Amino acid sequence: MRQIGVPHPRLPLPVAGGEDDMADFLAWLGEAIPMVPALGIRQMTRDGDCLAWSLSLTPSLNDKGTGFGGSLAAQTTLLGWCWTTLWLRRHGLARDVVVAEASQRFLAPVTGDYRLTCEPEAVDGPSALAERLELRGKGRIALVQRLWCGETLCLEARGDYAVLPAA
């Protein structure tokens, strides 16, 4: 049982230069952040610089029978945190990540199960983050999340994620 003010143990880093097992990471995330199992995440995949979740709408229904904006906003924020954390892990870094700024644009109602994607806002975002971490020991990256219900773009979000200095 998680306790207020007590950090959850970090997941061990993957073998040098290795990739995280997405199912293991998602299981750890569900232990570290108690609301995660209730989000309806069915699968997490990575393709290049794009991290994606497949989600069930049922846990995020609002009173109108469509996606609840607050739940969807929380999911976009968390997916960006996951993107940054997994990027750090692939680079052998166990660092704290926090969201510094986030915004959402709701474009269409979410009426069924959906896919949420996250990728850097700028093509050079990851290399710029790596450079800042090397030079200053901390950095930020801007990420864009998009929620797709079938072929319909329902939500576009943007977040700045800060990588804190090593303890």
Domain extents for the chain?
22-163
Q: pLDDT by residue (tens digit) across 85-136?
A: 999 999 999 999 999 999 999 999 999 999 999 999 999 999 999 999 999 9
Query: What separation in angstroms does the CA of 157 have from each of 75, 107, 117?
Result: 10, 11, 10
pTM of the predicted protein model: 0.96
Superfamily of chain region 22-163: Hotdog Thioesterase (3.10.129.10)
Does residue 59 surpass a pLDDT of 80? yes
Does residue 17 surpass a pLDDT of 70? no
Contact 148, 54 (CB under 8 A): no
Does residue 16 surpass a pLDDT of 80? no
Residue of 150, 155, 130 lying closest to 140 (CA atoms)? 130
